[in-house]
């Protein structure tokens, strides 16, 4: 699968039946600080992506 990071860099990874949350944690990304999309749709952290999927990580910006 292809993982597109917030800085628009790309990584090719094997999904290996892992959830999106497990993939994010393995890449050192806190799942609470991002949203994840596939085919322009937001997907939940418990989604198991296919090997041919392209997953985009979008950093959440907040303040107060």
Average pLDDT, the chain: 94
Residue 21 has pLDDT above 90, yes or no: yes
Specify the number of domains making up the chain: 1
- Whole-model pTM: value is 0.88
Q: What CATH number is attached to the domain comprising 31?
A: 3.10.20.30
Residue 10 has pLDDT above 70, yes or no: yes
Segments forming the whole domain that contains residue 14:
2-59
Query: Over the stretch 23-59, which tens digit does the pLDDT of each residue have?
Result: 999 999 999 999 999 999 999 999 999 999 999 999 9
Interacting residues of 13 by C-beta distance below 8 A, sequence separation 6+ = 1, 2, 3, 23
Cα–Cα distance for residue pair 64/18, rounded to 1 Å:
34
pLDDT of residue 62: 72
In a domain, 64, yes or no: no
């Amino acid at each position: 699968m292809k993982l597109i990071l917030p800085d628009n860099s790309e990584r090719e990874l094997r999904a290996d039946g892992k959830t999106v949350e497990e993939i994010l944690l393995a890449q050192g990304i806190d799942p609470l600080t991002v949203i994840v999309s596939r085919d322009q749709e937001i997907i939940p952290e418990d989604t198991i992506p296919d090997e041919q999927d392209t997953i985009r990580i979008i950093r959440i910006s907040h303040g107060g």
